[in-house]
């Protein structure tokens, strides 16, 4: 099982950012392989907001969120009271930003590997949940001899 945080999705959408090609390649691999993914519903909000802000276009943000929500083999976990409590504990213990703690809690609850482009998460969550950067995940999960699709990552 895999949990992908918003940093990977947003990074994949901005070719000017460092690591964008690797984030996009990883998301393409996920789609191609139809690998099961568990995400917090918060991901939908973060992607819609990031796309709408960066492109100054609310409709593009909503479209990106709808494409993401419609991906196959995706399980969505709401931020209910139990998930909020687990997230808060992780945030406090590992000094995480609120949203980052939600992704860590979802990965922990789903027994998933968290994929993130956020260096702080990679450093602070090592040993807490299985965690990899998109580059590391491609090395570990993807067979480099296969062709990776080039469709929109969302």
pLDDT digits (tens, 9 = 90+) for 15-37: 999 999 999 999 999 989 888 99
* DSSP 3-state of 128: coil
**What CATH superfamily classification does 2-40+74-141 receive?**
5'-nuclease (3.40.50.1010)
Q: Where are the domains of the chain?
A: 2-40+74-141
- Three-state SS string over 91-118 comes to HHHHCCCHHHHHHHHHHHHHCCEEECCC
Q: How far apart are CA 42 and CA 116, in angstroms?
A: 15
pTM of the model: 0.89
pLDDT digits (tens, 9 = 90+) for 79-119: 999 999 999 999 999 999 999 999 999 999 999 999 999 99
On whether the CB atoms of residues 74 and 2 are closer than 8 A, the answer is no
Q: What is the torsion angle, in degrees rounded to the nearest 10, for the CA atoms of residue 133, residue 114, residue 44 and residue 37?
A: 110
pLDDT digits (tens, 9 = 90+) for 35-89: 899 999 999 999 999 999 999 999 999 999 999 999 889 999 999 999 999 999 9
């Amino acid at each position: 099982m895999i949990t992908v945080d918003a940093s990977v999705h947003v990074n994949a959408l901005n070719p000017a950012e460092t690591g964008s090609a690797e984030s996009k390649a990883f998301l393409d691999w996920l789609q191609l392989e139809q690998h099961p993914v568990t995400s917090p519903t918060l991901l939908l909000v973060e992607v819609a907001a990031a796309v709408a802000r960066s492109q100054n276009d609310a409709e593009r943000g909503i479209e990106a969120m709808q494409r993401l929500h419609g991906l196959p083999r995706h399980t969505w976990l709401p931020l209910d009271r139990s998930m909020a409590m687990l997230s808060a504990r992780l945030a406090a213990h590992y000094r995480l930003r609120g949203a980052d703690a939600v992704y860590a809690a979802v990965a922990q609850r789903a027994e998933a590997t968290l994929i993130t482009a956020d260096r702080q998460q990679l450093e602070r969550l090592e040993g807490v949940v299985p965690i990899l950067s998109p580059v590391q995940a491609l090395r570990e999960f993807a067979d480099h001899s296969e062709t990776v699709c080039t469709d929109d990552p969302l």
